[in-house]
Amino acid sequence: MNIAEAVRDPHLFGSLFKKPETWAAWLVFLKAVFALPMDAPELELYGKCTGREKPPAGAFNEIFAIVGRRGGKSFIAAIMACYLALFHDWRPYLATGETVWIMVVGSDRPQARNILGYIKGILQTSHMFKGMIEKDLSWEINLSNQVSIKVATCDYRTLRGYTVAGAILDELAYFRSEGSNPAAEILTALRPSLATIPGSLLLGISSPYAKIGPLYEAFESFFGQDDEDVLVWKAPTKIMNPTIRDRVIERAMKSDYAAAKSEWMAEFREDLASYVPPEAVDALVCRGRLELPRIQGASYYAFVDPSGGSGKDSMTLSVCHKDKETERIIQDCIRAQRPPFNPKQCVQEFAKVLKSYGVSKVTGDKYSGDWCASTFREEGIQYVNANKSKAEIYLEFLPLVMQGALELLDHRQTIIELKQLERMTGRGRDVVDHPVNLHDDCANAAAGACIQAQGMQDAFRLWRVDGPDRKASAEEQTVEALKRNGGYRI
C-alpha cells in the first residue's frame, strides 16, 4: 500500500486527519516524495513548491522540506516515520536477528518529545498498528517486523552504528548541540547507515533560519533542479496549513519583518550570519591548557558575566593578560557557576580567584542595580560597569580572533558558545548574540576579559589603514582580517 492510500484509509492514517482538505498540500508532498501519480492541480502545486518543471521519475533518497511555522511539519514527520516502519518489508536486507531502525531526530529534547508523542499516538489509532508493538520504551518502540523506531536529539555521536532505513530530522536548521551547527555531522553519521538499505530515505524538515548549514546548502544546490536523488520542497505556512489566520501573519510581519518572513513565509533570513568561522576559534585554542598560574610582573584583567543563581544563566568569570613579548592576549582562567547557586557565595569564590592573580578591579555587565558593586566591594574587589554593550564587546573581540592575536583555554563550553554566536545586520548597527534558547555566559566573559587586556589605548592599533595617522575601526579591522585569513565568510 502506498502512502497516499494509507493516508486516505480511515482504518489506517485517515482517521488522524480531522479536516483532510486542509492537508491537501501535504498529500501532494508525500506523493512527490514517493513519485506517485499526481493530477494537474497537484502537479501545479508540486512545480510551485519545488521549482521543477518535470514530475518525479522515481522515489527520492533525500528530501529537504522548508516550511513555515505551524505548517504541520512534526506531524507529517511522525506519519512518515510510522509509514516507513509499518508498510515496508526491510527483512530481505537484514541479517538473521538484525534490526533496522527508523531514526527521528529532534532539534532538542522538548522537540523530540513532541514527535515521540505524535508517533505513539499514531500507533495507538489502529488495531493493526497496536498489534505490531513488542516493546514500548521511553524513547524507542520495537515492532514485530524487525523494525524499531528511535527518537533522539541532535547528537551525532549517539547515531552511529545502526542500520537505518529512514532518518527524519525535524527542525534541521536549528540543530545546535556542538559547535555552531552540528547538522552536517549528523548527516555524515547517518548517510553510511542508510547506504546499505535499498529504498532508504532521509528527510530534513524545518522552518528556515540563517543562510548557513546543510538545509540552506541543499536549497542552494537542488531547489529548481530536476535531480533524481534529492528533492527540495519550499512552501510558506499558508500553503501547507490554510487554517492559519491571515491577521496572525500580518501582525507578525509588522512586528519583526525579518523574523516573520522567515517563520511564516519560509524565506531564509537575510539579516543573520555566523559571528565567526568555527575554524578561526579552533585555531586559537591551546589544546590541553585548562588554566595558567600567575606570572610575576604580568598585569591581569578580568570580566564577570553576573547571574542571580536561580534562572538558566550561569555566572562566569574570565581572567586574561597581555604577553609583553608577543603582544598576544592570553586567557589564564575561566570559571562558570551553573544554577542553582548562592550568588553571594559565588562572588566570594570569584573574589578568591581574582586575588590569586593580583586583580583588585573587575569589569562586568550592569546587573541588578548596585548589587554586584556592593557584593564585590565586601570582598575587597572593585566592580566597574562595562562602558560597552555586549554586542560592542563582541565586535571589538572579532578582529582579535581573526588576526589570531589570542590564546584561549581549552574550555569546552566557551568554545561551543563562541561558535554558536550569531551576527544580525540591517538594523542600523550590527548585533551579536546567542541563538534562541542557548547561552553565551562563558563567551561573554572571555571576550570581555580579552578586550580589557587589549587595553583602551590599543583597541584600534592592530594595524592602520589609509595612511599612518588613521586608526582602523573595528569593522575595517575585521575586513582586513578576513582578507588575511583566506576570506572567511562572516
3-state helix, strand, coil in the chain (%, to 5): 40, 20, 40
In this structure, the answer to whether residues 257 and 286 fall within a common structural domain is no
**Residue 302: beta bridge partners?**
319
Distances 190 to 114, 161, 169, 194, 398 between C-alpha atoms, Å: 22, 9, 10, 6, 34
What is the amino acid identity at position 315?
Answer: M
pLDDT at position 210 is: 84
Nearest to 381 by CA among 322, 456, 329, 303: 303
Same structural domain, 203 and 352: no
**273, pLDDT greater than 60:** yes
Classify residue 480: in a domain, yes or no: yes
Whether the predicted pLDDT of 480 surpasses 60: no
Considering the entire predicted model, what is its pTM?
Answer: 0.69
How far apart are the two ends of the chain, measured CA to CA in Å? 49
Looking at per-residue pLDDT, the higher value among 490 and 10 belongs to 10
442 and 460 belong to one structural domain: yes
Given the DSSP bridges, would you call strands 133-136 and 100-106 parallel, antiparallel or unpaired? unpaired
Query: Where residue 198 sits, what CATH number does that domain have?
Result: 3.40.50.300
Tens-place pLDDT, residues 196-229: 899 999 999 999 988 888 999 999 999 999 999 9
- Whole-angstrom Cα distance, residue 254 to residue 260? 8
Same-domain pairing of 248 and 292: no
Tell me which of 243, 270, 297 is where a domain ends. 270
State yes or no: pLDDT of 470 exceeds 60. no
For residue 169, the model assigns a pLDDT of 92
Domain assignment of residue 32, yes or no = yes
**345 within a domain of the structure (yes/no):** yes
More confident residue, 330 or 17: 330
Question: Is residue 269 over pLDDT 90?
Answer: no
- Written as nine digits, the cell of 445 is 566573559
pLDDT tens-digit readout, 39-50: 999 999 999 999
Beta bridge partners of 331: 320
Residue with grid cell 502545486, as numbered in its chain? 45
Report how far residue 432's alpha carbon sits from residue 440's, in angstroms, rounded to the nearest whole number. 10
- Do 266 and 284 lie in one domain? The reply is no
Pick 429 or 244 by higher pLDDT.
244
pLDDT 10s digits, 454-468: 874 343 333 323 333
Domain end call among 225, 252, 270: 270
pLDDT for residue 189 is more than 80: yes
What domain range is 419 assigned to?
A: 278-484
Q: According to the model, what pLDDT value does residue 460 have?
A: 34
In a domain, 341, yes or no: yes
User: How sure is the predictor about 426, in pLDDT bands with cuts at 50, 70 and 90?
Assistant: low
Supply the mean pLDDT for the chain: 86
- Judgement on whether residues 263 and 282 belong to the same structural domain of the protein: no
Residue 408: closest CA among 285, 293, 291 = 285
pLDDT tens for each residue of 299-317: 999 999 998 877 788 999 9
Mean pLDDT for 244-272 is 88
Q: Is residue 343 part of a domain?
A: yes
Question: For residue 342, which phi and psi values (nearest 5 degrees)?
Answer: -90, 115
Asked if 467 contacts 481 with a C-beta cutoff of 8 angstroms, the reply is no
Look at residue 91 and tell me whether its pLDDT is greater than 50.
Answer: yes
Q: Which of 386, 366, 382 is nearest to 374 (CA)?
A: 382
- 489 inside domain: no
**Residue 478 pLDDT exceeds 50:** no
Which segment of 31-35, 243-247, 469-473 scores lowest on mean pLDDT?
469-473
Residue 248 shares a structural domain with residue 303: no
pLDDT band at residue 145 using 50, 70 and 90 as cut-offs: very high
Give the tens place of pLDDT for each residue, 313-362.
899 999 999 998 999 999 999 999 999 999 999 999 999 999 999 999 99
Amino acid 465: pLDDT: 32
Kindly state the DSSP code that residue 285 receives in the 8-state scheme.
B
Predicted confidence at residue 356, as pLDDT, reads 96
pLDDT of residue 486: 40
Residue 168's pLDDT band, with cuts at 50, 70 and 90, is very high
- Does one domain contain both 126 and 204? yes
**Percent of the chain having pLDDT more than 70?**
90
pLDDT, greater one: 186 or 377: 377
User: What's the structural domain count of the chain?
Assistant: 2
pLDDT for the residue 90? 94
List Cβ neighbours of 429 (8 Å cut-off, separation of 6 or more).
391
Q: What is the CATH number of the domain that holds 412?
A: 3.30.420.240
Q: State the average pLDDT over residues 61-81.
A: 94
Write down which residue in 222, 251, 270 finishes a domain.
270
Residue 409: pLDDT over 50: yes
249 and 312 inside one domain: no
- Radius of gyration in angstroms for the set of CA atoms belonging to the chain, rounded to a whole number: 26
Least confident of 21-30, 122-131, 329-338, 346-355: 122-131
Same domain, 199 and 308: no
Residue 180, pLDDT above cutoff 70: no
Q: Are residues 231 and 306 in the same domain?
A: no
Q: Are 225 and 372 part of one and the same domain?
A: no
Task: Say whether pLDDT at 162 is over 60.
Answer: yes
CA angle (111, 162, 197) in 5-degree steps: 105
**β-bridge partners, 424:** 272, 431
Banded pLDDT at 156 (limits 50, 70, 90)? low
Work out the pLDDT band at 243, boundaries 50, 70, 90. very high
Q: Is residue 490 part of a domain?
A: no
